[in-house]
Amino acid sequence: MPSTQAKTRRPRDPFLDLVRAGAILLVVAQHWLMPVLSFHNGQLSTGNALTTPGWWLLTWVSQVMPMVFFAGGAANLISFRAHRSRGGSTRDWLGNRLHRLLVPVLALAAVWVPLPHLLADLGVPAQPLDIAGGIVAQLLWFLVVYLGTVLITPIAVRTHERFGLGALAVLTIAALGVDWLRFDGVPLVGYLNAVFVWFAVHQLGFHYVDGALSAASRLRGACLAVAGFGVTALLVLAGPYPASMVGMPGAPVSNMSPPSACLLAVACGQLGLLLWLRPALLRLAAKRPVAGALRWLGTRCMTVYLWHMPALVAVTGIAVLGFGYATPEPGSVPWFAVAPVWLGLLAVTLAGLLRLFGRFEASAGVPRALPALAQLVAGGLLTAGGLLGLAANGFGPPSEAGVPAVLTSGPVPWVALVLAGFAMISYRFSPRTTLDVTADRGIRLFARLLPRG
Q: What's the average model confidence in pLDDT over 180-204? A: 94
What is the average pLDDT across 111-135? 91
Q: Whole-number mean pLDDT of the chain?
A: 87
Predicted confidence at residue 248, as pLDDT, reads 84
pLDDT of residue 404: 52
Question: What's the rounded mean pLDDT across residues 228-241?
Answer: 94
**Percentage of the chain with pLDDT > 70?**
87
Nearest C-alpha neighbor of 307 from the set 103, 102, 107: 107
Q: Which of 29-33, 184-188, 335-339 has the lowest mean pLDDT?
A: 184-188
pLDDT band of 406, cuts 50, 70, 90: low
Mean pLDDT of 320-336: 94
pLDDT tens digits for range 344-368: 999 999 999 999 998 888 766 666 6
* Domain extents in the chain: 14-449
φ, ψ of residue 47 to 5 degrees: the values are -125, -175
Q: Count of alpha carbons within 13 Å of 380, Cβ hemisphere only?
A: 26
Report, as an integer, the average pLDDT of 398-403: 55
pLDDT score of 120 more than 50? yes
When pLDDT is cut at 50, 70 and 90, the band that residue 178 belongs to is: very high
